[in-house]
Chain A
């Protein structure tokens, strides 16, 4: 059971949990902004760039 859970964790989360959490937060913020009258299309690409760069900097130390 533990190995099964570990497999799915590695499969979906991968090497850095920060990426998965960052993406989940980014989707939430995008959905909130999209519900207003403000254009929201720019938020997810920028959030992806920020999350990826943060994760890369953590790995490249």
Chain B
């Protein structure tokens, strides 16, 4: 969401807000349509199969987040710099030719649309998977909407990229949670019975958290000493 805000801010500041906001709104409507279409479709799938699909998706997404966050936290990959990302996007936007289509600055519209849609697609899938597994997609969508609102309000107050947000810590936390639920539901979908049933979930969370922190420490030790 923070990456999407950075793109939207860069477009709005350099190319004007009208086309940027039209592109952003169109992307948000597309994401809402995806959730509205896929959500009810998933409810007809048997619960065990659904948990297997949901678990596998959450695990794939969670491990992608966790892998990046661990590499960044251990110093093997550079932390994402929102100021630099904003500057790059703004410079490209200033250099891009002005082409008007349907009364809109087409560059600002398409970049905002693509940025919000692509960054939001993962959120949409998380909403669908968590919502369908727990039987409440509207509640999951409301949670994602609240998070998006917080990001927009923070961006409006900051009037710039959210460079002070501890983005990697958030990504680490999200990765740990997605991986935990992915393991838990995925294993249930594969036919596993957890010792203690749902009470095993905190145990899985603890395991994933300790494992992740351990991997950060181990990778920090493997880094070559810098002068």
A45 to B121, CA, bound (A): 27
Q: Is B191 a contact partner of A60 (Cβ separation < 8 A)? A: no
Q: Does A1 contact B (CB under 8 A)?
A: no
Interface of chain A: mostly helix, strand, loop or mixed? helix
Interface of chain B: mostly helix, strand, loop or mixed? helix
Q: Does A4 contact B (CB under 8 A)?
A: no
Q: Is A48 a contact partner of B183 (Cβ separation < 8 A)? A: yes
Q: Range of interface residues on chain B?
A: 35 or more
Partner of A31, one of B76, B191, B204, B215: B191
Query: Interface segment, B59-67, B149-157, B163-171?
Result: B59-67
Q: Is B200 a contact partner of A41 (Cβ separation < 8 A)? A: yes
A23 to B215, CA, bound (A): 18
A34 to B194, CA, bound (A): 11
Q: Does B83 contact A (CB under 8 A)?
A: no
Partner of B71, one of A7, A24, A35, A59: A59
Name which residue of chain B comes closest to A47, CB basis. B183
Q: Is B71 a contact partner of A48 (Cβ separation < 8 A)? A: no
The 6 tightest CB contacts between A and B, nearest first, are A34-B191, A14-B64, A31-B190, A30-B190, A60-B76, A44-B187
Chain A interface (Cβ within 8 Å of chain B)? Answer: 7, 11-16, 19-20, 23-24, 27, 30-31, 34-35, 39-41, 43-45, 48-49, 51-53, 55-56, 59-60
Apart from A14-B64, A52-B70, what 18 extra A-B contacts exist at CB < 8 Å? A11-B122, A12-B60, A14-B63, A20-B60, A27-B186, A30-B187, A30-B191, A34-B190, A34-B193, A40-B191, A41-B192, A43-B187, A44-B183, A44-B187, A49-B211, A56-B71, A60-B219, A60-B222
